[in-house]
Amino acid sequence: MARVGLRVVVITMVAPIAQGMVAALRGLGHEPVAVIGARRPSDQSRPPAEIELTDAQVPPGVDVLLPNEKSRLEGLMRVYEPDVALCYGYGWKIPIEALEVPRYGSANHHPARLPRFRGPIPFSWAFRAGDTELGLTWHRMDAEFDTGNILARSSVPLYDTDTTIMDIAPRVAEAAFAMLPEVLAKLVAGDPGEPQDDSQASYAGPFGEDYAAIDLGGTARAAHNQVRAWNLTFGMYGIVAPVVDLDGERLRLVRTSLTDPGNGARRLDCADAPLWILESEPA
């Protein structure tokens, strides 16, 4: 088991992850010394207030750092002399010089069963693929995204009622934090981890226009998965999707259900069954 009192730097852009990670580490007897996020450009769309990492969102006793460029990460890490860095929910590619600062190394949590779905939107690709569970992986960090040796794996179920990130994120975080004792013990022991099989790798990159329109000739489940997949791209790629023409109106679907919610929800007839529209907006 990892020795008590590891100095840990947490790297994340997501406030609930910072909160949960700090609490989990303290519960294990370790010392989270800083949370490193990133300053977003003024012209970039802002995440919801409850998600965005700010000083007010992090528990007392931990420094919150918001560098405006990744070249500063190495210097900031050195100030804290960490034993370990743990990354979870971070959009920048961290320079290898920064990753090598912690005494025992740096590890990242990725919500996929690596090497499947490397990249920025693994949640979305899991829905697109029709997966019924979401793989979770802690891995050592190297110079590339999501390619380092695997330290621990787990999974959580995906339910038909999962439509937003907040439906999924709490169970993912709970499972990710439950793996921390194993991850920290392996880092301290110098365990190199299991190399990924690159021949099995796939990339969870941006969706294109080819996936923007709902195909009413397909199944209701495929359409439901398409709506959920686009929902979890968080509007990052500038495509209005998924869209469908219904009763002479072009709609962007935001949330749907495979069962009738019983409140007058609009019905979308697919090849095999109806899909119920819980939330939509003009496209």
Q: How confident is the model at residue 28 (pLDDT cuts 50, 70, 90)?
A: very high
Name the nearest CA neighbour of 110 among 126, 88, 125, 81: 88
- pLDDT, average across residues 57-83: 93
The residues spanned by each domain of the chain are 7-200, 209-282
| pLDDT greater than 90 at residue 54 | no
CATH code given to domain 209-282: 3.10.25.10
Q: Bigger pLDDT: 106 or 54?
A: 106
Q: How far is residue 223 CA from its own chain's centroid?
A: 22
Tell me the pLDDT tens digit for each residue of 75-110. Answer: 999 999 999 999 999 989 999 999 999 999 999 999
Q: How many angstroms separate the CA atoms of 120 and 128, rounded? A: 14
Confidence check: pLDDT of 4 > 90: no
Tell me the pLDDT tens digit for each residue of 153-212: 999 999 999 999 999 999 999 999 999 999 999 999 999 999 999 999 999 999 999 999
Average pLDDT over residues 243-247: 95
The secondary structure of 121-141 as a DSSP string is -HHHHHHHTT-SEEEEEEEE-
* Rg of the chain taking only CA atoms, in angstroms: 20
Q: Which residues are CB-neighbours of 161 under 8 A, at least 6 positions away?
A: 167, 257
Q: Is the pLDDT of residue 44 over 50?
A: yes
Q: Tell the residue number behind the tokens 């693929």, with chain if given.
A: 129
Least confident of 14-18, 55-59, 125-129: 55-59
Domain 7-200, second-level architecture: 3-Layer(aba) Sandwich (3.40)
Tell if the pTM clears 0.85, that is, is over it: yes
Neighbours of 281 (CB within 10 A): 9
Q: What is the pLDDT of residue 234?
A: 86
Supply the pLDDT for residue 2: 47
Counting Cβ atoms within 10 Å, is residue 92 exposed (0-12), middle (13-18) or buried (19+)? middle
pLDDT confidence of residue 43:
54
Q: Where are the alpha helices (DSSP H) in the chain?
A: 15-27, 73-80, 96-99, 122-128, 165-178, 180-189, 220-231
Q: Do the two domains 7-200 and 209-282 of this chain adopt the same fold?
A: no
* Residue 174 confidence (pLDDT): 97
